[in-house]
Every structure is written in C-alpha cells, then in structure tokens.
Amino acid sequence: MQGKLPDSPRYKTTMERLEATRRESQSGSEYWFAREIQGLLGYSEWRNFEGVIEKARAAMNANGVDPSHHIVGANKKVAVGSGALRKTSDHFLSRAACYLIAMNGDPVKPEIAAAQAYFAAQARARELDQQSSDDEKRLEMREKVKQSFKAVSGAAKQAGVKNSKQAVFHDARNQGLYGMSGRDVKALKGIGAKEIAFDRMGALELSAHDFQMNLAAETIEKENVRGEFQAIRKNREVAEKVRQTMIDSGSRPPEELPAAEPIKQVEKRVQSQKKLPKGPIA
C-alpha cells in the first residue's frame, strides 16, 4: 500500500497512537474504543467528543448507512480515586466511524488534522487494494474465456461446423444471451466495431460467457450433436438458458451491464502496481 502523510512528529505520534489503540475482534473486524481515542483527538471533555460522534452518526444516516453497524454503545468499569470501580458509557467504533469522527472534528486541533490525514490515507490504500483485487479477477476471467472459447470452438468443429461458419456459431451465443447480434451489442454499449467484445466486459459478463461456452461444449459432446444447423441451434438454446438463469437469480440481463474499460488499460495498471515498492505507509 502506498500513501504519503505529513512528517511532523505530532502527526506521527497521533497516527502511531491511533494504530496502537486499534483492536481486532475474533472475526477479524477492526474497532476502536471511543474513550481511548478521545484524548488522542484533542478532546479533554467526553461530552464534547460525544457531540462529534453524533455528527458522525448523522452523516451516516444522511448517506443511507445504518450507524448501529459502526457505532455501538458499550459500558465499561473504570477505577476511581478510591480504587473502586465506576460504570461509564463508551462506544465501539468501526474504521468508517473513526474516519467520519475525524472529518467532523474541530479542524483547529492538530490531532484532528493528523487523524484526518491518517484515516484518509488508509481509506485510499484500501480502495487501491480493492481495485487491484477487481483488476486481477477480471484478468483471470478474461484468460478463462480464451480457453473456453477454444473449447467450444473445438466442440463445434467436431459437430461439423466449418471454419467459415464459426462466426455464425459464436454469434448464436450472443443471440441467446443478449437477444441480439454481437454487432448490435457493441453498438448498444458504445464499443468500437474493431474492438474485441470480451476485452470490454466486466467480470460478471465474462463469467456468463465462460459458463455458457463450457456448458455448450459439454452439451454438444454429450448429446452427440451433429451438423452445422443443429450445433448452432444448440449453442443458442444453451445461451438462452444461461440468460434466464441470470435473470432468475436477480442479476441484470447482460445487455444492461455497462461496458468496462479496455482490458489493456487494466493490464497496464496491474503491471505498474507490481513495479511499485512494497512497504507501510510513511
């Protein structure tokens, strides 16, 4: 993960303390105790800090997020001067809650400024990690589709589909999945006529094609389909079933899935990320 935060000792101290007070549940979820970070963010009085927590809660509500998933009330016992224990209120805070608390805190406080930089950088790092994961998943699916395309092409050839009719055979998949030709799919999604449609598909759409081609290849072989017409018809029938399965499962039909960025851009981004030096945020 890469990021850049201020070099001020105060900033580093605040960030180190925030990281030191971070806890982890048995399920692996991160959380902080509000009273433990209260002082780290420059608030000497609990009631003032609770006001900032309420602002964070309100921000979540305004954005359609259930605050109860991020800010959970807790009771703790703390020692008082006589050595006795007194029950006091506290909150479990998720990383998202801490981020919003920092964003809604007093910007004059240097501790708040440090926390804002810390949580913003951490959030960005996680976005980059997610982007990297999505990119790699898409590249993996694109490679699988290449292999599936070869497999179903081979099955079609064995069934009697000549090389000159392979394009018609494969377009039957488009007719079944989208209800239109591959050319019309490109026009609908704004994909260039010379572009390879698979190179503009996201992971879900690629998965649909991968599944259809593998299923069609297996069906043609198992049912001993013979003849160009029969193979083309069977390919379309399988595609229609896959389309219906997508719709029945609650997914949008493939023609409604937006075109993804060109796969070459994804490949370049993944390669550039691999060249970056690894290390903690500094």
Same domain, 264 and 165: yes
What pLDDT does 134 receive? 79
Q: What is the pTM of this model?
A: 0.56
Same domain, 149 and 235: yes
Token pair belonging to 35: 């009273």
What pLDDT does 130 receive? 64
Q: Is residue 121 part of a domain?
A: no
Same domain, 80 and 175: no
Q: Is residue 176 part of a domain?
A: yes
Q: Is residue 249 part of a domain?
A: yes
Q: Is residue 2 part of a domain?
A: no
Is the predicted pLDDT of residue 144 greater than 90, yes or no? yes
72 by DSSP, 3-state: which?
Answer: strand
Q: Is residue 115 part of a domain?
A: no
The tens digit of pLDDT for each residue in 19-68 reads: 888 888 888 888 999 999 898 888 999 999 999 999 999 999 998 999 99
**Residue among 124, 118, 138, 280 at smallest CA distance from 204:** 138
What pLDDT does 84 receive? 67
Same domain, 102 and 162: no
What pLDDT does 282 receive? 31
Question: Which structural domain range is residue 89 located in?
Answer: 9-106
| 186, β-bridge pairs | none
Q: Is residue 119 part of a domain?
A: no
> How would you class 82 by CB atoms within 10 Å of its CB: exposed for 0-12, middle for 13-18, buried for 19 or more?
exposed
In this prediction, residue 242 has a pLDDT band, given cuts at 50, 70 and 90, of: very high
Same domain, 136 and 264: yes
Q: What's the structural domain count of the chain? A: 2
What pLDDT does 118 receive? 77
> How would you class 213 by CB atoms within 10 Å of its CB: exposed for 0-12, middle for 13-18, buried for 19 or more?
buried
Q: Is residue 83 part of a domain?
A: yes
What pLDDT does 18 receive? 81
Same domain, 158 and 252: yes
Same domain, 271 and 214: yes
Same domain, 156 and 21: no
Token pair belonging to 50: 């609770």
Same domain, 164 and 59: no
> How would you class 7 by CB atoms within 10 Å of its CB: exposed for 0-12, middle for 13-18, buried for 19 or more?
exposed
**Residue among 85, 88, 80, 86 at smallest CA distance from 36:** 88
CA distance 205 to 253: 9
The tens digit of pLDDT for each residue in 75-103 reads: 876 666 666 677 788 999 998 898 889 88
Tell which of 89, 106, 123 closes a domain. 106
Is the predicted pLDDT of residue 73 greater than 50, yes or no? yes
What pLDDT does 2 receive? 39
Angle 166-170-173 from CA coordinates, rounded to 5°: 155
Same domain, 183 and 254: yes
Same domain, 99 and 141: no
| 90, β-bridge pairs | 74
What pLDDT does 209 receive? 96
Residue 108's contacts (CB-CB under 8 Å, 6 or more residues apart) are: none
Q: What is the mean pLDDT of the chain?
A: 86
Q: Is residue 282 part of a domain?
A: no
The tens digit of pLDDT for each residue in 244-275 reads: 999 988 888 999 999 999 999 988 888 876 65
Same domain, 150 and 231: yes
- Looking at the chain, the whole-number percentage of residues with pLDDT higher than 70 is 85
